[in-house]
């Protein structure tokens, strides 16, 4: 059994509320098509949990426990590690949680770019640190810029800029969609 950090556990729990923990869904407007706890069969066909679901084993208590463990491991490796979640967590729990949630919802590169773009916006035209390349990789340069940025700006300011970008992304996504059932949830998620 894997042991995860407090930061990951907190971010995972919050995102599972948004993704539908333990739910097998197939919403007609979801580009991910069939999902289990937000894991898209369309985009993550090789996830081993699909074999348990297809066999019906997920209905058995032991199968569900195994499925939940696979699910958590998936979110840890595919998203938390990819956004450098531990380093973000050491800077601020809420920031690591928001970047993780955006990464799960819109993709790792998008979540990482929201942070990098925010750091560039709050950089006074390059006066605090060299403007970041918005490459979607939260590495040492992005972490260093973030550490400098939090000395000059409240963490809520950083979080709010990420929320604004997430919300604008949702508006763009929903303008061309017939899905009206998801509107309240997407708006609330962008503010999470």
Measured distance CA(7)–CA(86) in Å, rounded: 7
Do residues 99 and 186 both lie within one domain? yes
Identify the residue whose tokens are 């409240």: 154
Beta bridge partners, 40, equal: 35
- Given 80, 101, 116, the domain boundary residue is 80
Does residue 86 form part of some domain? no
pLDDT in tens, 31-43: 778 999 999 999 9
Asked if 2 and 37 count as a contact pair (C-beta separation under 8 A), the reply is no
* 25: three-class secondary structure by DSSP: strand
Do residues 76 and 108 both lie within one domain? no
Do residues 104 and 166 both lie within one domain? yes
Do residues 112 and 165 both lie within one domain? yes
Does residue 184 form part of some domain? yes
Do residues 122 and 76 both lie within one domain? no
Does residue 100 form part of some domain? yes
Do residues 179 and 96 both lie within one domain? yes
Do residues 11 and 70 both lie within one domain? yes
Q: In this structure, how many other beta carbons lie within 10 angstroms of the beta carbon of residue 34?
A: 15
Q: Which two tokens stand for residue 73?
A: 């491991």
142 phi-psi bin (left φ>0, alpha ψ -120 to 50, beta other): alpha
Q: What is the pLDDT of residue 1?
A: 56
* 2: three-class secondary structure by DSSP: coil
Do residues 131 and 42 both lie within one domain? no
Asked if 76 and 2 count as a contact pair (C-beta separation under 8 A), the reply is yes
Do residues 67 and 117 both lie within one domain? no
Q: How many domains is the chain partitioned into structurally?
A: 2
The pTM is what? 0.92
Do residues 132 and 165 both lie within one domain? yes
| CA contacts within 13 A on the Cβ side of 59 | 3
Q: Which residues contact 17 (CB under 8 A, 6 or more apart)?
A: none
Do residues 152 and 178 both lie within one domain? yes
Do residues 101 and 30 both lie within one domain? no
pLDDT in tens, 17-32: 999 898 888 877 777 7
> Which stretches of the chain score pLDDT less than 70?
1, 180, 183
Does residue 87 form part of some domain? no
Tell me the residue range of the domain where 28 lies. 6-80
């Amino acid at each position: 059994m894997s042991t995860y950090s407090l930061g990951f556990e907190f971010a995972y729990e919050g995102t599972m509320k948004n993704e539908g923990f333990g739910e097998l869904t197939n919403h007609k407007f979801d580009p991910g098509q069939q999902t289990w706890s937000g894991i898209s069969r369309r985009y993550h066909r090789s996830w081993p949990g699909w074999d348990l679901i297809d066999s019906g084993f997920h209905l058995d208590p032991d199968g569900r426990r195994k499925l939940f463990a696979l699910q958590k491991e998936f979110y840890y490796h595919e998203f938390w590690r990819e956004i450098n979640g531990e380093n973000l967590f050491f800077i601020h729990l809420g920031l690591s949680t928001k970047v993780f949630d955006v990464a799960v919802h819109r993709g790792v590169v998008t979540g990482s770019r929201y942070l990098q773009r925010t750091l560039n916006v709050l950089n006074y035209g390059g006066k605090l640190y060299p403007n970041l390349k918005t490459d979607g990789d939260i590495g040492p340069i992005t972490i260093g810029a973030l550490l400098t940025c939090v000395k000059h700006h409240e963490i809520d300011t950083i979080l709010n800029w990420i929320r604004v970008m997430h919300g604008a992304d949702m508006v763009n996504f929903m303008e061309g969609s017939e899905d009206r059932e998801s509107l309240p949830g997407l708006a609330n998620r962008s503010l999470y």
